[in-house]
Amino acid sequence: MSAAVGNPALLRGIGDDCAILRLTAGQELLITTDLCVEGVHFRREWHPPRSAGHRCLARGLSDIAAMGGEPVACFLSLGLPDLLPQPWANGFMRGLLALAGQFKVPLAGGDTSRSDNIIADIEVLGQAASGSAVLRNGARPGDRIFVTGELGGSAAALKGLYVGNKLTASARHRHFYPMPRLDLGRWLRQKKIPSAMIDLSDGLSIDLAHVCQESNVAAVIDTAAIPVARRASLDLAMHGGEDYELLFTATQRTRLPAKIMDIPITCIGEIQAASSRRGIVQVRDETGRVRPLKLAGWEHFRKI
């Protein structure tokens, strides 16, 4: 493995028993870990190795983005089958390191082992000024709910793969090569805009429910306002996962432009006081009718 890129915080990376990091004074360390398992998170027949490596790191970086943090270093533990062709492993590392290079996140350590399936455990370390990381628990009744980008595109691609569509894993496709919203997340934190924030990895309905649970509030979303990606349906935009966009809440007074850093910002609803009667997330259709939303995340690959 090669570390490929440097970060001033990394004093010692691969080559010693431990990595050594020196954080800037006044910063807090953010740590996230994500497990990618072949057949659950990717399939060799669908995902080129570069895409699998990219997606593995993108999941961790997206968690750092959701806190408004700045990534510092990543660590990768890989389990690979004996019979796995070497070019697959090389492609996986190329995909992961290309994304790492783009965000200046050195691979600072890791481990490899033999394994029946491909498993990749990624750990990403990040930093944010003390007390400034955006949490899930700050949403308050009256706050507006915003999402970045468009939703459902990744799930629509995955659905296509299920039914046998031939999809080209183009570098711009957000299913194969999702781009974590790191710059936007950091900008929002620095401007102190979000009262709460999360990245959309499991799907809008489930991830919004996480914010509501942590903040002890409820939410109502306007179905007509949801930015549905091209080729996706409202259902996929509501429940499909792996878009790696950001969802954040902000006070009623917050005025945001339609785009920040060229990424669309859409107000999709509002936070309400928690109510056991109404349920945690409700949807309001074009006629104004409000009904409870059945939460359903994207259970990728579990059904097969």
Q: Give residues in contact with Mg ion (CB under 5 A).
A: 63, 199
Provide the minimum distance between the beta carbon of 34 and Mg ion in the complex, in angstroms, as a whole number. Answer: 9
The H-or-E segment that residue 237 falls in is helix 234-239
CB of 124 to Mg ion, least distance (A): 11
Least distance in angstroms from the C-beta of 134 to Mg ion: 12
Q: How far is CA 85 from CA 23, 38, 44, 49, 81, in A?
A: 39, 15, 11, 11, 9
Q: Which is nearer to Mg ion, 13 or 54 (CB)?
A: 54
Closest distance to Mg ion from the beta carbon of 165 (Å): 28
Query: Of 199 and 245, which has the nearer Cβ to Mg ion?
Result: 199
As a whole number of angstroms, the distance between CA 292 and CA 278 comes to 6
Alpha-carbon span 273 to 246, nearest angstrom: 22
Phi, psi at residue 21, to the nearest 5°? -120, 140
Pick between residue 13 and residue 178 the one whose CB is nearest to Mg ion: 178
| 2: nearest Cα among 94, 77, 135 | 94
Are 34 and 56 a contacting pair, CB within 8 Å?
yes
- The tokens for 128 are 């944010």
Q: Which is nearer to Mg ion, 63 or 150 (CB)?
A: 63
Q: Is the Cβ–Cβ distance between 207 and 199 less than 8 Å? A: yes
User: Which of residues 10 and 145 has its CB atom nearest to Mg ion in the complex?
Assistant: 145
Q: How far is the CB of 180 from Mg ion (least distance, A)?
A: 10
